[in-house]
Chains A and B, each alone.
Chain A
Amino acid sequence: MATVILENVNAHFPIYGAQQRSLRKALFQRATGGSIEREGKNNDRVTVKALTDISLTLHDGDRVGLVGHNGAGKSTLLKLMAGIYEPVSGTIKVEGRVTPLFDAMPGLDSEDSGYENILTSGMLIGMTRRQIEAKIPEIEEFCELGEYLSLPVRTYSTGMTMRLGFALVTAMDPGVLLMDEGFGTGDLRFAERAEARMKEFVGRSRIMVLASHSDRTIRSMCNKAVMMEAGRIVASGPVNEICDRYYESVHAAAEADRQVKQSGMAALSGYSASNAAGKEQIDAEGRIENVGLVDRLSRSNGSARMTRVAAQDANGNARWDFVPGETATFRFEYKILERVDNAVILFRLNFMTPGGGEVIFAERREVLSSEPLEAGYEGVLELSLQVPDLMPNQYLPYIWLGRTSNAGAYDVVDVNIGLPAFVVRPSAEQEPRSGIMSLAFEARKSGTLAQDILTKVDAL
């Protein structure tokens, strides 16, 4: 039997040093999303309410997915269930062994050998020396590190270290399994075996709680889901129902966000006339000349302007979602508003990490001109890509138009202004695997000096 019961659990994070410059940093790291409160005599204590009034009961056989935005409290909730943080108020009761998988090898030391680390991590996880020694043959066999196990871990590749951690963790009796997404596993052939072992490991657990941003992972691994928002549970129930609801709310939120940005724009004189709030959205053509300028001009000097960002397939149909094998063409149109000495476009596809960070996934830097470009110049850059076997995911575009020295932006556009994400859908024949690849973009450039000159607006 395994049970997890949470009753009216609250968790607040005090933030120290918030009066110094680190306030922003601290808030972003700790709790984007939780509500921030100030306490104390002079409002000098900043507290983030990471979790508010959480009640939840889990029983044997529950496979629960936690969904919610970054900072909604998913990881904090997992850490409370693991007993790492104690609630400020409320109670948490657990029956059965709890296995958190936040760090596969706690206490890992690169100077120690593989065997030594197995022993240390195993003890830290709560096994006795004897229990670990009994598991060593199994770990040896699964991680396939052979002689390397006697060498210091610093001689291992990242993949090898991950294999070791994975082999160790999955050798345990999981009980109540707590997972934060992104529990990765080394190289290609190992990934297949790892998946099988992971399934078996999860299968052995009595209860599993998984926090993930991947809709697919949650739907395939869980039978229930809990949706969180700003530290509260807003809904719980069968996995498909909750996931659908979450998906809708994400869209609603994106829409609301866009409207806020637009109304901010309306306040900007000179631009509001022809772009009243509500009208200013990215149309099907991908015109962004006047979209989200508040955001863009706060990050650039405005010497040039991206006027259109679009994606299309080989037949010229505009779309942003592709399956591997298709050819995607990204089209960037821009105008020079003020003579610039040179220009470059940096195109990035980023993705979000479980921790809420953005990671550059692919980058292409294309010099548009190493000669000065006059005001009124209009140019086009097209980047084509035969979509390789990418992991099905959303990749967020980021386009930086600026000096070739990479020091000074003329314009920056990304998802903040509502650019759609580049979506790679799973293809039927593609087996999941992992590895490293580079994206081979093909570039085409053109441009003319136009008569109709936009006036440059000073950076905000």
Chain B
Amino acid sequence: MTMVLTPLEDEDSGLRSLSETAAGDLLRGFRKRELWGRLGWLDVKRRYRRTTIGPFWTSITLAFYVLTVGTVGAAIWHQNIYDYLPFLVSGMIVWTLVSSIILESCSLFIAGQSLFRNIRFDYSVLAYALVWRNFLVLLHNFAVYFLVVVVLKPSLLSFTALLAVPGLALVLVNAVWVSLLFGMFCLRFRDVPPLVASVMQIAMLITPLFWPADTLTGIRRFVFIDLNPLYHVVDIVRAPLIGQMPDPISYGVMIAMTIGGWWLTYEMFRRFRKRIAYWS
């Protein structure tokens, strides 16, 4: 990745060009932690304004889902409920995070138009806010995981579980480029958001969330698991949460995705950043 670092000038010093570089946008945007932190947090808060338990509503929905689907699923897949529920809940937590980031990134710039068409804006702020917002929701959902695990299998709360943290960090780093790239793409080509929505619906069924990855063998396993990036995304966070080591391949894929994804996004952002306001 060739990132040319230009010094970030202060607003008030000397004659400066109004055009912003892609790197400048990404860095300056990131430095506005106060702003994207606030935008992300307010979004969470607004959704549940005037409710009593607020964002925990998503957690409660998740808990219901896991309990009911989990009971049925344990029977279908002939699983022990003490293993199956923690597996399902940790998978669903990560899936909720990943799928809502992907779906929301489709409307990142479409919904943000009113902002950047009226004021000068670092576009990356919107992406950081999106990821931050979903991270906050994730934290609420973790309550369900703890509840399930403490009741059913407290032994899972070990040092292995801590491996979920670097995994999650990798996921979030990737989430930023996904938001930016999908955001730009969907702003320009308005056919993409519905397409992404239907792909995600199918992806939920073919990614091993409800059934263990080992159910599949041979060519099927290769196609739906090894070649499925979403599996690796889920795996590096889920595996530690159910007391397993993530597949080394998953780490490899994630690191490759981080580098490749950021390189692609940076190139696209560098070339088309200027056009975002015009596309809207």
Contact = CB atoms under 8 A, between A and B. Distances in A.
A123 B119 CA distance: 11
A85 B42 contact: no
Given A85-B278, A86-B19, A112 B42 contact: yes
Interface residues of B, number: 31
A225 interface: no
7 contacts: A3-B15, A80-B18, A82-B119, A96-B12, A124-B115, A124-B119, A125-B119
Interface stretch (A103-111, A295-303, A437-445): A103-111
Of B12, B18, B20, B42, which is in contact with the most chain A CB atoms at under 10 Å from its CB? B18
A239 B118 CA distance: 27
Contacts of B80: none
B48 to A, nearest CB: 11
Interface stretch (A87-95, A155-163, A280-288, A350-358): A87-95
Interface of A: 3, 5, 13-14, 16, 79-87, 91-98, 100, 102-103, 106-107, 109, 111-112, 116, 119-120, 123-126, 128-129
Contacts of B19: 83, 86-87, 91-92
Contacts of B115: 106-107, 124
B266 to A, nearest CB: 18
Given A14-B278, A124-B35, A109 B46 contact: yes
Contact of B20 (A83, A124, A126, A128): A83
A102 B120 CA distance: 11
A107 B39 contact: yes
Contacts of A95: 14-16
A207 B139 CA distance: 48
Nearest to A109: B46
A93 B18 contact: yes
A100 B120 contact: yes
A80 B117 CA distance: 11
A86 B120 CA distance: 10
B119 A106 contact: yes
Contacts of A120: 38-39, 42
A119 B19 CA distance: 27
B17 A93 contact: yes
B278 A129 contact: no
A129 B120 CA distance: 18
Of B117, B118, B121, B188, which is in contact with the most chain A CB atoms at under 10 Å from its CB? B118
